[in-house]
């Protein structure tokens, strides 16, 4: 059971999606033969299918496993969670909303998170009616009343949901691709990235959104972070489609928006981590290590930071197996490094050669922030983020 949980859940939620699915299947096979109606083993069977990109089959298995018993309601909630993501992977946003609503009504884990998921999936529909938009406004307005604390601490995903709800209200009841953003932060691209048929509609949706953003960028004061989010999501789609160079350029462009981002500061370190993971896949392990170290040490106090650090730790453990000991001895510290620094400049995208950007020249490429207009914007952004944190 521990092996199944680790290779089918933990590595995909907290790690880099490198679970050993063949091992999980070899462990699961005899269990299903002995207990064909065992709900736990059926759940893991559905999870394996989901990870392999067989979403339709996974949906059928999760639904069947729920019908095998009615006493254990918490198990139904677990299946609702997986069914919600499976339908979102298929861009069946209304059905994903329905399962998020079930979770909000029945589960006690994080009703604020479920409420934000409801709103995000509704906003992903192609045609959002006035009635639906008002329903979204009501849902997001209720999130502050749903948040909770565990051992005196706020749940990070609830803090993320609350920030997004406030941003929605601040920019005229608008969010950019909130459903795809949720899929990303829950590492859903590690799953759908293996199935081109699931990625192609997402790429088209991101491209349409980029065109819409470009048409309204003059009046959109948050254009930079909306653009950066789209480039991060586009890069994830292109990475799954094996378009490595294009994906790398997307991640660089997202990271280059650093100083212009006002609220969603998490986009830059997350983009750097995706860039580092792309380098790993391409066998560029020294560049991967430097990029991952930058994301870990040069950015602080952003949304879902601890979640990203789990992924960085997992990735660096693999990178160190391929990097020579001489490189491991040198600790990466870019110019102007400070442990409490919350951001920094990043080289502009498409700057050849790559070594000048992420390679040995990183120390000279990154300069400490100065007291110019860009720094003033950063201070204003940090003040805004502190104001967002206070009610939590």
Q: Full-prediction pTM beyond 0.85?
A: no
For residue 153, the SS3 value is strand
343 with 268: CB under 8 angstroms?
Answer: yes
12 with 190: CB under 8 angstroms?
Answer: yes
Residue 258 located in a structural domain: yes
Handedness of CA 123, 127, 133, 139 (dihedral sign): negative
Phi, psi dihedral angles at 53 (to 5 degrees): 90, 5
Residue 98 located in a structural domain: no
Residue 213 located in a structural domain: no
Residue 271 located in a structural domain: yes
Domain containing 258 equals 237-392
Residue 184 located in a structural domain: no
**Among 126, 117, 64, which residue's Cα sits nearest to residue 87?**
117
Cβ atoms within 10 Å, residue 30 = 10
Residue 224 located in a structural domain: no
Neighbouring residues of 301: CB distance < 8 A, sequence distance ≥ 6: 265, 342, 385
119 with 139: CB under 8 angstroms?
Answer: yes
349 with 256: CB under 8 angstroms?
Answer: yes
Specify the number of domains making up the chain: 1
Instruction: Kindly list the averaged pLDDT for each block of 10 residues, start to end, along the chain of length 392.
Output: 86 78 88 89 93 93 90 89 96 96 92 96 92 94 90 86 94 94 93 90 95 91 94 96 95 93 93 95 92 88 88 89 61 39 42 36 33 38 40 38
Residue 34 located in a structural domain: no
The H-or-E segment that residue 268 falls in is helix 267-281
pLDDT given at position 386: 40
User: Alpha carbon of 239 to those of 87, 266, 273: distances in Å?
Assistant: 22, 20, 13
Residue 358 located in a structural domain: yes
Phi, psi dihedral angles at 371 (to 5 degrees): -90, 50
pLDDT given at position 325: 59
């Amino acid at each position: 059971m521990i092996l199944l949980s680790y290779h089918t859940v933990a590595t995909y939620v907290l790690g880099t999606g490198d679970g050993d699915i063949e091992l999980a299947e070899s462990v699961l096979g005899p269990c299903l033969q002995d207990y064909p109606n065992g709900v736990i083993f059926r759940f893991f069977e559905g999870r394996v299918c989901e990870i392999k990109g067989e979403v339709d089959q996974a949906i059928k298995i999760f639904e069947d496993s729920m019908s095998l018993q009615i006493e254990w309601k918490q198990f139904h909630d677990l299946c609702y969670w997986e069914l919600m993501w499976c339908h979102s992977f298929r861009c069946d946003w209304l059905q994903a909303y329905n399962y998020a609503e079930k979770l909000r009504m029945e589960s006690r884990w994080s009703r604020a998170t479920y409420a934000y998921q409801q709103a995000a999936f509704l906003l992903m529909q192609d045609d959002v009616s006035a009635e639906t938009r008002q329903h979204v406004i009501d849902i997001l307005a209720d999130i502050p009343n749903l948040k909770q604390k565990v051992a005196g601490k706020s749940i990070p995903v609830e803090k993320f949901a609350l920030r997004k709800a406030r941003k929605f209200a601040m920019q005229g009841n608008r969010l950019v691709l909130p459903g795809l953003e949720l899929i990303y932060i829950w590492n859903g691209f590690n799953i759908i990235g293996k199935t081109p048929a699931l990625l192609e509609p997402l790429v088209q949706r991101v491209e349409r959104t980029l065109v819409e953003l470009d048409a309204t960028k003059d009046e959109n004061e948050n254009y930079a972070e909306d653009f950066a989010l789209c480039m991060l999501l586009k890069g994830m789609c292109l990475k799954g489609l094996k378009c490595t160079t294009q994906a790398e350029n997307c991640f660089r462009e997202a990271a280059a928006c650093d100083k212009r981002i006002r609220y969603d500061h998490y986009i830059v370190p997350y983009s750097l981590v995706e860039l580092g993971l792309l380098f790993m896949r391409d066998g560029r392990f020294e560049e991967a290590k430097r990029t991952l170290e930058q994301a870990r040490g040069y950015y602080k106090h952003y949304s879902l930071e601890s979640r990203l650090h789990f992924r960085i730790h997992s990735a660096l453990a693999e990178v160190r197996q391929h990097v020579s000991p001489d490189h491991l001895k040198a600790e990466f510290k870019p110019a102007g490094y400070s442990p409490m620094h919350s951001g920094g400049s990043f080289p502009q995208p498409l700057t050849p050669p790559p070594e000048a950007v992420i390679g040995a020249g990183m120390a000279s490429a990154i300069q400490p922030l100065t007291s110019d207009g860009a720094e003033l914007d950063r201070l204003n952004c940090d003040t805004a983020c502190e104001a967002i944190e206070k009610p939590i």
